[in-house]
Structure 1
Amino acid sequence: MDSKKKLMNLNLESKPMLLLFMTPLLFSACGQDNYKMEKQITQDLSYNHDLDNNDNFSPDDEWLVYDTRTEKGGIGANGKIEKINLKTGEKVVLYELKQNKAYGPGVGAVSYSHTNNEVVFIHGLLNCTLDKPYEQWRRTGVIIKDDQPGQPIFMDARDISFPFTVGALRGGTHRHEFSGDGKWIGYTYNDAIMKKLEDSTGLTHNLRTIGVSKKDHPVTVAESQDGENFSGEWFSALVVKVVPNPVPGSDEISRAAGDSWVGHSGYLNSDGATQRARAFIGSAIGKNGEQVDEVYIVDIPEDITIPGEAALEGTETNLPAPPKGTRQRRLTYTANNKYPGCEGIVRSSFGGSMLAYIAKDDHNIKQIFTISPWGGEAIQRTFHDSDVQGGIRWHPKEHRLVYVWQNSLVGLKIEDGKSTILTKPSQNPPKNPVWSHDGNKIAYNRMVSKNGNTPTMQIFVIKM
């Protein structure tokens, strides 16, 4: 790749409100020597070991957790959550639905807590049948403690019977992610009541949005005989407002996804206090009526039990509403760019001062950009001559990124713009990279086949 001089704005975690200086930096050519040694951790080629772009390292970095879904069956047809020891290769089944069917219940998309030896994952409703299968609006979050395998703790309560219950949701939570301090879990969400309304009216109501659950606040729901309603150990609320038909040119959105926590426990606001937040991709409508996906952020109050403008629990015609104190803001405005739009999971640096995402440059090439949680101009961080493929993850303690480009893992130092190719390009690209808590290892998936058999997803690790 040609070297290019670029002016880059250096954001430092400790100076969130200051535009420090602009300095010319030489973006170095990607080094293609001294590839990291790749160690294949999983060896059983008979099934998949899917990291799923989640937080897979145990707090002590000794284990990796994953699901075993197939490409065809997906989460609904998968019945097992496992972990593997990086040193010994020992596998432990944390949870298994031995009678799982193709229609569900299904489990998958598992993440470790950063602070406790426990995992959270998607669990389809236990009453799944051929006529009522696993669906986006028929799933919940389940926690398993390492020392209590097979004993599910239902995180988010579910109540689809009017009148609904404050602190319970009504459908499906997905891609659960612990906050850095372990006190919260964030996720995307689809609502069963809105799906039912959409089916009965023919109008759009089943909109994807974002919710959070807070620890140590159980919610009791009168459990129904049909298994649709149940209690949960965490208090849950939706925090992002979506509408079916956003006003063109406004900041309204019809979809929210690609979300993650900002910082370890938030970012520094104008008062110097830590503000908890989630960053995400929101689907807005441009002035000419075209959809444009932009980066948004939502500030989340510490107390999510206080209603805002509408009912926390929702109504028969409206989604559950965000609690008082939530603040939803648009950060990027790419609608007027030559190639508008943003994509991927929005990933935050450890202190919360930079949010990384993928967008196209003026040459129609997908690059990595960052933007501050306070808004302002986005900064282009990569200058490749072909698309960044995805997989953006931050180092847990430094301003460094890893991502996938040209079927290789690539490391990028934000301060000097230097990038290094970490793994040798291969026919089957690395995917789902995740950094260990100590920053010394990166785990990822790659499809592997032997003797012409169907490839399966295996786990690899490199040391940094």
Structure 2
Amino acid sequence: MKQVTFAPRHHQLTNINTWTPDSQWLVFDVRPSGASFTGETIERVNVHTGELDVIYRATQGAHVGVVTVHPQREKYVFIHGPENPDADWHYDFHHRRGVVTEYGETRNLDAMDITAPYKPGALRGGSHVHVFSPNGENVSFTYNDHVMHEYNPAHDLRNVGVAVPCGPVEVTAQHPREYSGSHWCVLVSKTTPAPQPGSDEINRAYEEGWVGNEKLAFIGDTLSVKGEKVPELFIVELPKTAQGWKQAGDAPLAGTDTTLPAPPAGVVQRRLTFTHQRAYPGLVNVPRHWVRSNPQGTEIAMLMRDESGVVQLWLILPEGGEPRQLTHLESDIQSAFNWHPSGNALGFVLENRIAIADAMSGSVRFLTTDHGNPPSADAVVFSPDGNYIAWMEETAGFRQLWITETGL
């Protein structure tokens, strides 16, 4: 185990893609806690020398955080809160945007248009947790909608969207909070405020993960026959051409005054898990985790409870079928997880230690022994070369970054 940050402040890793492609630097923000969005810089640390770089510094009272890295280049995408926040417009789920920084130049990823008629390719609210597709072409995100929030907060449903590089999307600002963006952005999930109990309808889509470059899996909250929330796994197939992203389906891409933006034509939402009848139905929300495909795009991993109520790793094919229970542990997996770049193992926190599970057998090996404090549940992330795994841990009262070798 090696501690790589030492400054008396917090260091926050995102749940995936936190290493530069050369596996030399960890990228982070400086929020004081996961729930407080008050960091002003995006930074990186060299895991071997301890050298620190500031990648971006916010101005005009804005805050930034939740940074991830392009898989092939030193290109960064992160959340940017509003400049000059005031009582009417401050950081919130529906008041934030993605920005991309490369070679010192920073641009808005998503455009904002909250004045009807709404512009296709622009968003009407806040994007969050931006993750490049494996080939670096597109960016997934979760989303909340300002127009729906003003119309009826109960209709401002969390959704999943994608930014594609067939912009820019130019917005003629009719509201002081509108702006243009570099990418064409659409929602790809479909939600409804009142799902039919026992159906495949959902009122929330979240914690998405790329499955190859042309599919996205995510968690969707269904309702049981009794009306209880059951998070299930869903997948969408994405358009394969630039024109496909711009073709509206049965509802406007940009939404209306009373409806959310809608997915492009041909984007079909398909449910993969059917767990309503299990003793412990649904994917778990604690620990919070993001569904993750292996690098080959052939299996999707998620966390569910076994018949005894223990949180285990499960795998399922993108085509569907019965999930396969991978781990058979006596105590809960305690964190979000990620795949090793080889696809042969997954890393997570177990028994307050860093552990990896073999992706075929489910056998578990511990990489660490004695921790001063338990590793954070937020992020356990392999380096691109597979030699290291990084996590956060409270040290002398501050969240610091740590790594250890994987032996893989």
Answer yes or no: is 1:48 the counterpart of 2:2: no
Displacement of 1:54: 2.8
2:342 alignment partner in structure 1: 397
Opposite residue 54 of structure 1, the aligned amino acid is I
Report the CA distance between 1:426 and its aligned residue: 2.9
Secondary structure of 1:152's aligned partner: strand
Report the Cα distance in structure 2 between the residues aligned to 1:382 and 1:50, rounded to whole angstroms: 28
Secondary structure of residue in 1 paired with 2:246: coil
Deviation at 1:123, TM superposition (A): 0.5
| Letter paired with 1:180 | P
CA RMSD, Structure 1 to Structure 2 (Å): 1.4
Structure 2, gaps ≥5 residues long = none
Aligned partners of 2:374 and 2:315: how far apart in 1?
24
Q: Is the 8 A contact 1:171 1:193 kept in 2?
A: yes
Amino acid of the structure 2 residue aligned with 1:257: Y
AA of the residue aligned to 1:446: E
Q: What residue is the counterpart of 1:447 in the other structure?
A: 394
Decide whether the 8 Å contact of 1:115 with 1:180 is kept in 2.
Answer: no
Aligned to 1:113: 70
Alignment deviations for residues 171-217 of structure 1 (CA, whole Å, 9 cap, x no partner): 00000000111100001000000100115xxxx20100000001242
Q: Which residue of 1 aligns with 2:127?
A: 173
Task: Give the deviation of 1:225 after TM superposition.
Answer: 5.6
Provide the rounded CA distance (Å) in 1 between the counterparts of 2:60 and 2:83.
11
Q: What is the CA–CA distance in structure 1 between the aligned matches of 2:110 and 2:60, rounded to whole Å? A: 23
- Aligned match of 2:48: 87
Q: Which residue of 1 aligns with 2:216?
A: 278
Query: Could you tell me how far apart the structure 2 residues matched to 1:231 and 1:114 are?
Result: 25
CA distance in 1 between partners of 2:335 and 2:194 (Å): 29
- 1:342 match: secondary structure: coil
Match of 2:196 in 1: 247
State the match for 1:434 in structure 2.
Answer: 381
Q: Report what 2:278 is aligned to.
A: 337
**What is the SS of the residue equivalent to 1:423?**
coil
1:212 is aligned to 2:132:
no
Kindly provide the CA deviation profile for residues 295-354 of structure 1, in whole angstroms up to 9, marking residues without a partner as x: 111111123111111100110000000001211111111110011110321011011111
8 Å CA contact 1:224–1:230 kept in 2: the answer is: no
Q: Which of 65, 83, 95 in structure 2 is aligned with 1:126?
A: 83
- What TM-score, normalized to structure 2? 0.94
The structure with the largest alpha-carbon Rg is 1
Cα–Cα, structure 1 residues 73 and 131, in superposed 2: closer, same or farther, change >3 Å? farther
| One of 239, 250, 258 as aligned partner of 1:309 | 250
1:193 matches 2:147 = yes
More moved, 165-174 vs 407-416: 407-416
1:87 Cα deviation (Å)?
2.1
User: What is the Cα deviation at residue 425 of structure 1?
Assistant: 4.5
**SS where residue 290 of structure 2 aligns?**
strand
Give the 3 Å change call, closer, same or farther, for CA 127–310 of structure 1 in structure 2: farther
Aligned to 1:194, the other structure's residue is in SS state: helix
Superposed displacement of residue 415, structure 1: 2.0
SS of the residue 1:388 aligns to: coil
Query: How far does residue 66 in structure 1 lie from its aligned partner after superposition?
Result: 0.3
Match of 1:388 in 2: 333
CA contact (8 A) 1:173 1:190 kept: yes
Q: What's the counterpart of residue 21 of structure 2?
A: 59
Which amino acid in structure 1 is aligned with residue 390 of structure 2? A
CA distance in 2, matches of 1:160, 1:458: 39
Between the two proteins, the alignment pairs up a number of residues equal to 397
Partner of 1:459: 401
Task: Tell me, in whole angstroms, the C-alpha distance in 2 between the residues paired with 1:415 and 1:291.
Answer: 31
- TM superposition shift of 1:258: 1.1
Question: In structure 1, how many angstroms separate the alpha carbons of the residues matched to 2:199 and 2:343?
Answer: 36
Cα separation, 1, equivalents of 2:399 and 2:357: 26
> Does the Cα contact within 8 Å between 1:54 and 1:110 map onto a contact in 2?
no
Q: Which residue of 1 aligns with 2:171?
A: 221
Is residue 295 of structure 1 aligned with residue 195 of structure 2?
A: no
The 8 Å contact of residues 326 and 360 in structure 2, kept in 1 or not, is answered as no
Relative distance call for 1:405 and 1:442 in structure 2 (3 A) is: same
Cα deviations across residues 11-40 of structure 1 (Å, max 9, x unaligned)?
Answer: xxxxxxxxxxxxxxxxxxxxxxxxxxx111
CA offsets 1:105-126 (integer angstroms, 9 cap, x no match): 3210000000221100000122
Q: 1:193 aligns to what SS in structure 2? A: helix
- For 2:257, the aligned partner's letter is E
**Between 428-437 and 133-142, the greater mean CA deviation after superposition:** 428-437
Identify the range of structure 1 (339-348 vs 371-380) with the bigger mean alpha-carbon deviation: 339-348
For 1:39, the equivalent position in structure 2 comes to 2
Deviations 1:81-115 (A, max 9, x none): 11111222111111112553xxxx32100000002
Amino acid aligned to 1:439 = G
Shift, 1:429, TM fit: 1.8
CA distance in 1, matches of 2:206, 2:35: 23
Question: TM-score, with normalisation over the residues of structure 1?
Answer: 0.83
The DSSP-based 3-state class of the residue aligned with 2:399 is strand
Greater RCO structure (CA 8 Å; 6+ sep)? 1
Unaligned runs of 5+ in 1: 1-37, 266-275, 450-454
Runs (4 or more) in structure 1 with deviation over 4 Å come to none
